[in-house]
Amino acid sequence: MSLFNLAVFISGSGSNLQAVIDATENGTIPNAKVALVISSREGVYGLERAEKHGINSMVIDRQNSERILKVLEDHTINGIILAGYLSMLPPDVVQAYSGKIINIHPALLPKFGGKGFYGIRVHQAVLESGDKHTGATVHVVDLEYDTGPSLIQSIVSVLPDDTAEALQKRVLVEEHKILVLAAKALVENRIDEMVKNPIILG
Ligand code: GRF
């Protein structure tokens, strides 16, 4: 049985990438492998993580859709994961893999999502809002920022003395968990089912 080839797009440390690599290697996500890592930035730790696992990785300008599509095709990619990728995918890439692209966001979308809401800024906004809960969301990628249908969310309590960094740390643990669950659904062709019955943990 041929393996399901995953491409993971990153822009930074790649801890979500690492969670997916580990899950495909330890059997949590069977019959799949991370076949390709594409970064929008040079010199990020996520590229070292790929190299350590012998995964083909490269930096491609986020607007170079021609090169992105060519590389995805060359690697016979079956599904795409955006994991800390801080750009929009070009529309023709989203269309070419429609329904087969998932993204992890460090908040309970639709709250604290959209352009400008990424990384530590998300958690600062949550603290400023006075919300008692936040969390993480994996959703299907469509042609806008963070607006595709939710697949799975995990709720995290905001503690009275929370700093943005402390909150980010707790949310990141949940991101890794739900990204692996959603990636497994992607590999097993259960995305449509999950869209109909999104999961909420916590
Ligand atoms: C994570 O919070 C992710 O959701 C956000 O960037 C942060 C770093 O992710 N987009 P990673 O460690 O690079 O996977």
Say if 48 falls within a structural domain: yes
Provide mean pLDDT across the span 12-19.
98
Give the DSSP H or E segment for 59: strand 56-59
pLDDT category at 198 given cuts 50, 70, 90 is very high
Residues 6+ apart with CB under 8 A from 35: 3, 5, 6, 7, 55, 56, 75, 76, 77
Per-residue pLDDT of 154-163, as tens digits, reads 999 999 999 9
Percentage of the chain beyond pLDDT 90 is: 95
Q: Count of domains in the chain?
A: 1
- What is the whole-number distance in angstroms between the Cα of residue 11 and the centre of ligand 1? 8
Query: Residue 83: CB within 6 Å of ligand 1?
Result: yes
User: pTM value?
Assistant: 0.97
Question: 195: CA distance to ligand 1 center in Å?
Answer: 23
Residue with tokens 């400023």: 128
Please identify every residue annotated as catalytic: 105
CA pair distance 6, 48, nearest whole angstrom: 18
DSSP code at position 128: H
In short, whether 175's Cβ falls inside 6 Å of ligand 1 is yes
- For 187-198, letters b (16+ CB in 10 Å) and e give beeebeebbeee
- Residue 145: band (very low, low, confident or very high) from pLDDT cuts 50, 70, 90: confident
Residue 69's domain comprises: 4-196
Is residue 89 one of the residues assigned to a domain? yes
Please indicate whether residue 113, judged by its CB atom, sits closer than 6 Å to ligand 1.
no
Instruction: Establish if 118 belongs to a structural domain.
Output: yes
Q: Is residue 201 part of a domain?
A: no
**% of the chain beyond a pLDDT of 70:** 100
116 domain residue, yes or no: yes
Name the closest-CA residue to atom 9, ligand 1.
84
| CA–centroid distance, residue 92 to ligand 1 (Å) | 24
Cβ–ligand 1 contact at 149 (below 6 Å): no
In a domain, 86, yes or no: yes
pLDDT in tens, 161-184: 999 999 999 999 999 999 999 999
List, in sequence order, every residue forming a beta bridge with 82; answer none if it has no partner.
Answer: 9, 103
- Atom number, ligand 1, closest to the C-alpha of residue 172: 2
The CATH number assigned to the domain holding 178 equals 3.40.50.170
81: tokens are 């994961």
- Assigned domain for 51 exists: yes
Sign of the torsion formed by the C-alpha atoms of 16, 17, 23 and 29: positive
